[in-house]
Structure 1
Amino acid sequence: MSQNDSSFDSHGASADHPFGSASRPGVNRKPEGTIGVIGTRTPSGTPPIIPPRPVQALLPEPRDRRTTGGAHAARSGARGRLGCGSGRRGGKIALLLVLSFIALVYVGGIAAFSLVFYPNTSIAGADVSLLPEDGAATRIDSMANRYSLTVEGIGFKWSYAPKHGSDLIDANAAAKRALAGNEPYLWPVRLWRACTGAQADAGTSTDRSLLSPSFDEDSFSSDLKQAIDTFNEHRSGAFDTQSAFDPTSGAFSAERARGNEKLSESTVERLAKEALSSLRERVSLETNAYEPLKGGVSDGDLQRACDAANALIGTSVTFKLAGTEAGALDGETLSKWITFDDALSPALDNDKVSSWAHELADTMNTVGSERTYTRPDGKVITVSDGTYGWKVDEKKLVEIVQDAVHTKRSGEIDVPTTSEGVTYAAHGNPDWGAYADVDISEQRARYFDASGKLLWETGIVTGKPNGEDDTPTGIYKVNKKLRNITLVSGKIDPNTGKPVYESPVQYWIAFVDGSIGFHDASWQSASVYSDPGAYRWAGSHGCINTPLDKVIELYDMIQVGDAVIVHN
């Protein structure tokens, strides 16, 4: 088929096309017998050749086209309107389907979250996420049965455990009440909050309504109050000197002053009950659990008061007797003498300084005090009274202490004394060196050197035990040694008007003033010195009658200042 066998109009439409125009001028008609349908064959069997469509065929037709063109345009517009209406109906159907699905999901969510809890939900500390009411109750009850509470911190500790979990939390009621507050109609918002971490617990830490009606709150509060009262027993709740001083650092500190604060019963009880309601097992107390110090003292006030007090306690001295430490004065002792007025201004109490000096003297004085020692032969002896030992010059000591405090002195101070021993030890212990031991019950006298070695021993006769001539017991000091003197009684015989006795002696070793001592006694027979009972009938007026040869030996050994211990 030749190119001329195919007759198309300028728009590529054949004369037989339904939308063709027979009246349009300039349109070439196809010869009869030809078919202008694409893809069909002519009688000759050759496929038609489709010429390219003119450019004009692709442009909109002018409005002034004649009837054929107008009819074509009308039919084309009708087809376009038919396609647009069909699209709108499809869009409405799709929207209806989407809305129906959303409604179905929403209703389903309402049904679901009317029966189960949202994710990340807890009741009384138990995770009940996506659990139904009975499952949540079981989990809450399980936690309650294992529950115990410990409240501790800042030096305080107290524990509580219910006998049964149901005594603390009513699990069924808690689960039911919590699920009733699920707000299922708002489940999209609640679910979003739950999944983003914004969901609140179904039972918050302050929801005490979760506690069981059988919970004995009065007993719980009473036990906790008793523990708090015990803790606060030695805390005054006010600033004072003793609580503010830190012996470790030797200074006042605001932190230590706060150690006198009392625990707040209401605060601790509130925290404990909040922990109960959420089944939290531990409450950690911090400093905000304390009540403020009386008067509302601020940290700044405390620090200023402590700084001022520290400026008054710079003294640090050691008092010595016989080279041995007998007492000390340091910041800890001085802190007890600091007083604070209402404005927390510190001052040193001088009366307390003086009292302490007198007390120190009393602790160092041994004259007349009871002392116990073991004689080298094993006999244990306890004796008191006498004149031997240490005696502090209290007046001078007070002056020294006051001066040391005001000048903030440091170092060692020798204690001023009016009487001295050889060594210094605590009260009740020997403080002598060499000594003579006079045993009235044995009627024997011994002399030991400072090391305890026996140097001398003899039989003796002591004073007659008649209540007037008894030899006085106690620890004395040799005060004089004399030769060839006459001992004269201090008592006058009413019948003669003369001294009761006047006795010449060759050796005299006095230890009780000038009236009692060791001496020879020429009027005694030698036999009395070997008879332990002879003193009862041949006793002296109180002195120690000694054989002449023995008193000569002792006179050469013993020194003024040596101790003489007389005991039964």
Structure 2
Amino acid sequence: MEGKHASQNKQQKPHRSEAFPQLDKAETVAHATKPSMPSDFDLGSTGGSVNPVQMNGRGPHRFSAAPNAAYPGGKVPGGTAGSRKFADGRRRNPVAIAALVFVTLLLVVYVAGAVIFMGRFYPNTTLGNFDLSMKPFDQAVDELESAEKSYALSISGEGFSMNITAKEGGIQLDSDKVIAAAKGGMNPALWFVNMWDAHDATENLTASADSTALRNLLTEEIEEFNAGQTASEDAAIVYDAESHSYKIKPEVNGTQLDAEEVVQQAITAMLSMQDTLKLDDDVVIEPQVLSTDSRLIQGTEAANKLVACDVTLVAQLANTTEDITQINGDVISQWVTFDENYAPTFNEAVMSEWASALVASLNTVGSTRTYTRGDGKQVSVSGGDYGWAVDTSSLVSTIEDAVTNASQGEISVPCSQTGNGFTAPGMDWGAYCDVDLTEQYARYYDAKGNLLWESGIVSGKPGGEDATPTGTYYLKTHQSPSMLRGPKKEDGKYEWESEVQYWMPFVGNLVGLHDASWQPSSVFSNPDAYKTYGSHGCVNLPTDKAAEIYGIIQNGDPVIVHW
């Protein structure tokens, strides 16, 4: 049978040994030296034919061969009679098949995920206090609208607490717009990357608010709260009267709240629909300038140099001085101002005002004086030529020099006219002679108010040019004896002449105190005698009393004539 089969094969198809003798030779060698067949061979049902695919440089060729003597029956281990993987002889690859299945599954999952996240949010997605994880967009809109209706902000902290509803705050929320903006940040095509991350869409949660209504509501509440709280104070440079120097007053850390800061935080919280707002110390009004500020330290040092002056202004009297006022730190501090950087400056305008006020109090010539006489009578009188006249410009210049040079000691007040002292408010004199026209009585007091002399008088005739002038005058001179004369007539003679022993003029050289020996002694005890026995304006005295006062009163002493 084998011979017949071989013969038939020869008739049907030339043996490849005839067409390719070189291959037969090679195959014979291969069979003889290799115990097993390559895995790419398929055996026929007869077990004797093979169809290897060979490459000889000219393309693939199929051929038949006799059974291999190395394998009994012509079977190769591992082979299956009649089985084929592919028509072209290639074997199936299980790895490739598995990979294809895996890729297909991934594609299905990817597409499914993309479809899902086209209509809902990623996991771990928040919108303010709202959890939108895996929620459909339309459900998120509904929940947001429901939350708006019941929304309220609870504010607390730093001792303050308050609840504000959405209506009170004028809160309005466009839920569709918010959710549209939130989902606009999603990319469903990249769901497989983004779904593992946390997503905060709070920036899209923007409501609108009636800021005016909210501000008014909060401001009113905070003002009421602040009324019972401690106000903060900046550190400052202050003058300490006890030490007569400038010091730094420490800052005060208060507990009052900054209404505008609370309003801004509340608006921000409500616009993002936060449930609570915790107030921290950043809403407390804090001092802006601290005691450690170098500007305060430097300013204090500079200011203390300005108040180092300590001088006493004195009125120069005949044989002594009278203290007028003291210029030290207590006074100078009123003239010191500080700029925005706490640098001290000497305010000349303020100092000049102070000096002018002092001058006004010292310039007493012709002023109205009210005082209490030694016997207790209240006296008020105006006019006259006695008093003090201060040179204002010289005084200002003197004070400026003293402050600049930190002078110490006494400085005389520059005056164009002086009195004889300052003894009490309203009394710019020391010893004085009081002439009471109502009582027709004269008294002389020393600077301490002791009565040294007194006498009845006769003054000038009332109601005319002979009336004794009222006012505060000063004694011009002493003269003894002296001839007193009236107006000169056309013939060269005087209307009247009277010789006196004690002449003490106080209104120029025309009106004065003097003895009047021609007057009856009784008139000096009669208060109404001047109406009949009145003088030409002088103050008539008994001769003995005139002699007494002549030896007591001093030139420059005030003579105060009043009713």
User: Cα–Cα, structure 1 residues 447 and 181, in superposed 2: closer, same or farther, change >3 Å?
Assistant: farther
The question of whether the paired residues in 2 share the 8 Å contact of 1:120 and 1:194 is answered with no
Select 1:450's aligned residue among 429, 447, 451.
447
Q: Which residue of structure 2 aligns with residue 133 of structure 1?
A: 145
Q: Which residue of structure 2 aligns with residue 502 of structure 1?
A: 497
How far 1:433 sits from its partner (Å)? 0.8
Select 1:468's aligned residue among 465, 469, 478.
465
CA distance, structure 2, for counterparts of residue 109 and residue 359 of structure 1:
83
> Equivalent residue of 1:467, what SS?
coil
What's the CA shift string for 1:176-216, capped at 9, x where partnerless?
Answer: 47635543353589x99996778436349xxxx6338x979
Q: Which residue of structure 2 aligns with residue 183 of structure 1?
A: 182
Which letter maps to 1:68?
V
What's the CA shift string for 1:329-380, capped at 9, x where partnerless?
Answer: 97986999xxxxxxxxxxx9x9999999989755632222222212233322
What's the CA shift string for 1:34-66, capped at 9, x where partnerless?
Answer: xxxxxxxxxxxxxxxxxxxxxxxxxxxxxx976
User: Cα–Cα, structure 1 residues 200 and 382, in superposed 2: closer, same or farther, change >3 Å?
Assistant: farther
User: Cα–Cα, structure 1 residues 423 and 196, in superposed 2: closer, same or farther, change >3 Å?
Assistant: farther
Q: Which residue of structure 1 aligns with residue 75 of structure 2?
A: 67
Q: Which residue of structure 2 aligns with residue 514 of structure 1?
A: 509
How far 1:432 sits from its partner (Å)? 0.8
Q: Which residue of structure 1 aligns with residue 314 of structure 2?
A: 321
How far 1:442 sits from its partner (Å)? 2.0
Q: Which residue of structure 2 aligns with residue 567 of structure 1?
A: 562
The question of whether the paired residues in 2 share the 8 Å contact of 1:326 and 1:364 is answered with no
Select 1:420's aligned residue among 418, 421, 426.
418
CA distance, structure 1, for counterparts of residue 128 and residue 142 of structure 2:
6
Q: Which moved more, 1:359-368 or 1:451-460?
A: 359-368
Aligned length: 388
CA distance, structure 2, for counterparts of residue 471 and residue 85 of structure 1:
146
Q: Which moved more, 1:95-104 or 1:442-451?
A: 95-104
> Equivalent residue of 1:107, what SS?
coil
**What runs of 5+ residues in structure 1 fail to find an aligned partner?**
1-22, 24-63, 122-127, 147-162, 221-245, 250-269, 288-309, 337-347
User: Cα–Cα, structure 1 residues 410 and 500, in superposed 2: closer, same or farther, change >3 Å?
Assistant: farther
Q: Which moved more, 1:505-514 or 1:434-443?
A: 505-514
> Equivalent residue of 2:544, what SS?
helix
Q: Which residue of structure 1 aligns with residue 375 of structure 2?
A: 377
User: Cα–Cα, structure 1 residues 511 and 192, in superposed 2: closer, same or farther, change >3 Å?
Assistant: farther
CA distance, structure 2, for counterparts of residue 394 and residue 112 of structure 1:
86
CA RMSD of aligned residues (A): 5.9
Q: Which moved more, 1:412-421 or 1:516-525?
A: 412-421
The question of whether the paired residues in 1 share the 8 Å contact of 2:389 and 2:418 is answered with yes
The question of whether the paired residues in 2 share the 8 Å contact of 1:486 and 1:503 is answered with yes
What's the CA shift string for 1:284-329, capped at 9, x where partnerless?
Answer: 8999xxxxxxxxxxxxxxxxxxxxxx9xx99979672323337799
The question of whether the paired residues in 2 share the 8 Å contact of 1:463 and 1:471 is answered with yes
How far 1:453 sits from its partner (Å)? 2.0
How far 1:499 sits from its partner (Å)? 2.1
User: Cα–Cα, structure 1 residues 477 and 195, in superposed 2: closer, same or farther, change >3 Å?
Assistant: farther
Select 1:367's aligned residue among 365, 368, 374.
365
How far 1:435 sits from its partner (Å)? 1.1
Which letter maps to 1:505?
V
How far 1:71 sits from its partner (Å)? 0.9
CA distance, structure 2, for counterparts of residue 503 and residue 203 of structure 1:
112
**What runs of 5+ residues in structure 2 fail to find an aligned partner?**
1-46, 48-69, 132-139, 157-163, 189-193, 218-236, 241-259, 271-278, 289-302, 316-322, 339-345
Q: Which residue of structure 1 aligns with residue 205 of structure 2?
A: 202
How far 1:136 sits from its partner (Å)? 2.9
CA distance, structure 2, for counterparts of residue 318 and residue 73 of structure 1:
138
The question of whether the paired residues in 1 share the 8 Å contact of 2:383 and 2:472 is answered with yes
How far 1:562 sits from its partner (Å)? 2.0
Which letter maps to 1:368?
G
How far 1:424 sits from its partner (Å)? 4.8
User: Cα–Cα, structure 1 residues 482 and 277, in superposed 2: closer, same or farther, change >3 Å?
Assistant: same
> Equivalent residue of 2:519, what SS?
coil
Which letter maps to 1:538?
Y
Structure 2 residue 539 is matched with structure 1 residue 544: yes
Show the 5 A alignment for 1:147-296: 169-171=169-171, 173-174=172-173, 176=175, 179=178, 182-186=181-185, 199-200=202-203, 202-203=205-206, 210-211=209-210, 278=268
Q: Which residue of structure 2 aligns with residue 236 of structure 1?
A: none
Which letter maps to 2:523?
V
Q: Which residue of structure 1 aligns with residue 247 of structure 2?
A: none
Q: Which residue of structure 2 aligns with residue 481 of structure 1?
A: 478
The question of whether the paired residues in 1 share the 8 Å contact of 2:460 and 2:534 is answered with yes
Q: Which residue of structure 1 aligns with residue 119 of structure 2?
A: 107
Larger Rg: 2
Select 1:492's aligned residue among 482, 488, 492.
488
User: Cα–Cα, structure 1 residues 453 and 413, in superposed 2: closer, same or farther, change >3 Å?
Assistant: closer
The question of whether the paired residues in 2 share the 8 Å contact of 1:475 and 1:565 is answered with yes
Which letter maps to 2:387?
G
Q: Which moved more, 1:273-282 or 1:380-389?
A: 273-282
CA distance, structure 1, for counterparts of residue 440 and residue 469 of structure 2:
14
Which letter maps to 1:366?
T
> Equivalent residue of 1:446, what SS?
strand
Select 2:434's aligned residue among 391, 414, 437.
437
How far 1:277 sits from its partner (Å)? 5.5
CA distance, structure 1, for counterparts of residue 169 and residue 353 of structure 2:
62
The question of whether the paired residues in 2 share the 8 Å contact of 1:119 and 1:130 is answered with no
User: Cα–Cα, structure 1 residues 524 and 448, in superposed 2: closer, same or farther, change >3 Å?
Assistant: same
Show the 5 A alignment for 1:345-364: 364=362
User: Cα–Cα, structure 1 residues 136 and 370, in superposed 2: closer, same or farther, change >3 Å?
Assistant: same
Q: Which residue of structure 1 aligns with residue 548 of structure 2?
A: 553
